[in-house]
Amino acid sequence: MYTKKAIHASEINKVSMGTKILRIVMTIIGALIFAVGLELFLVPNTVMDGGIVGISIILSHLTGIPTGVFIFVINIPFIYIGYKQIGKTFAFMSLLGITILSVATVVMHHIQPFTSDLLLATVFGGILLGVGVGLVIRYGGCLDGTEVMAILSNKKLPFSVGEIILIINLAIFAIAGFVFTWEQAMYSVIAYFIASKVIDIVVLGMEESKSVYIISEEIEEIGQAIMARLGRGVTYLHGEGAYTGNNKKVIFCIITRLEESKMKEIVRTIDTQAFLAIGNISEVKGGRFKKKAIH
């Protein structure tokens, strides 16, 4: 007979196993979507991605060796570094995704591309790359060691991770201009930009959440209005003005980006002098974020 503790541990293991399976499945799907965008849209039209994938495309063009071989070989050192710096789950999911991507690109290389129109290939290829990378990142891995390299370089260089990745990719696109044509390089930049925006949507979700802080002399009325008109719960925090030393109540709540305009209207209607700060949040879990019905 199970004790309560044993039952609880069993339930945790079941959830954990389900999560692991979901991660593996979504990583495989993400890698396959990425491969489709790469081999059936971008590569046949000599449009490329940034990072290690971009380097692999250039090397493949110069040597005739399949792109997938370079993707796998060049990424191996970064997977090892990721294992040491980030953890074994990240390393495993990345290795799985990169292996699937490498094999899929080799297989798909001989399939007829979906379009030879350069603009269509750039747009749809960029979208598919973004969806693929976004899924893999969302479930704990990566398909390109550039991010790992940027994180490590960030400790030694006076640049942010994003700035380092941008510098690396600009250098790769400049090389692509000499290897292919400058027109292809410019289309590659467009594909990269589209992919980066789609990654944000996939990783953060369509309903990006926002945190809201409000300081006002009419704090109670504003709090009641938010609950009544937006259906959102609010939390009252206690603060102290550094300049005046006065105690103040502060409203904290979470809304979606679609509710931002309504929130500003509520605050402005009640107190035009209120302090309102709104920031982006990538993920919300727990609590009572679910919207209440407004009667």
Q: Which residues contact 76 (CB under 8 A, 6 or more apart)?
A: none
- The lowest-confidence range among 99-113, 124-138, 167-181, 210-224 is 167-181
Q: Which fold has domain 209-281?
A: Alpha-Beta Plaits (3.30.70)
Q: How confident is the model at residue 5 (pLDDT cuts 50, 70, 90)?
A: very low
- The lowest-confidence range among 9-23, 59-73, 275-289 is 9-23
Cβ atoms of 132 and 31 within 8 Å: the answer is: yes
Question: For position 102, what pLDDT does the model report?
Answer: 93
Which structure tokens are listed for 289? 């974020």
Question: For position 185, what pLDDT does the model report?
Answer: 87
Per-residue pLDDT tens over the stretch 207-266: 567 889 999 989 999 999 999 888 888 989 988 777 777 888 899 998 877 788 889 989
Cβ atoms of 41 and 113 within 8 Å: the answer is: yes
Domain ranges for the chain:
4-204, 209-281
% of the chain residues with pLDDT over 70: 83
Q: Which residue has the higher pLDDT, 289 or 16?
A: 16
Residue (of 120, 110, 142, 111) closest to 34 by Cα position? 142
Question: For position 11, what pLDDT does the model report?
Answer: 43
% of the chain residues with pLDDT over 90: 27
Question: For position 230, what pLDDT does the model report?
Answer: 85
**Average pLDDT of span 55-59:** 90
Question: For position 4, what pLDDT does the model report?
Answer: 40
- CA dist 122 and 234 (Å) reads 44
Question: For position 206, what pLDDT does the model report?
Answer: 56
Best-predicted range by mean pLDDT (41-55, 236-250, 276-290) = 41-55
Q: Which residue has the higher pLDDT, 252 or 204?
A: 252
Q: How confident is the model at residue 277 (pLDDT cuts 50, 70, 90)?
A: very high
- The lowest-confidence range among 60-64, 214-218, 290-294 is 290-294
Question: For position 170, what pLDDT does the model report?
Answer: 85
**Average pLDDT over all residues of the chain:** 82
Per-residue pLDDT tens over the stretch 149-172: 766 666 676 766 566 777 888 888
What's the CA angle centered on 263, arms 257 and 267, to 5 degrees?
Answer: 155
Question: For position 205, what pLDDT does the model report?
Answer: 67
Q: How confident is the model at residue 125 (pLDDT cuts 50, 70, 90)?
A: very high
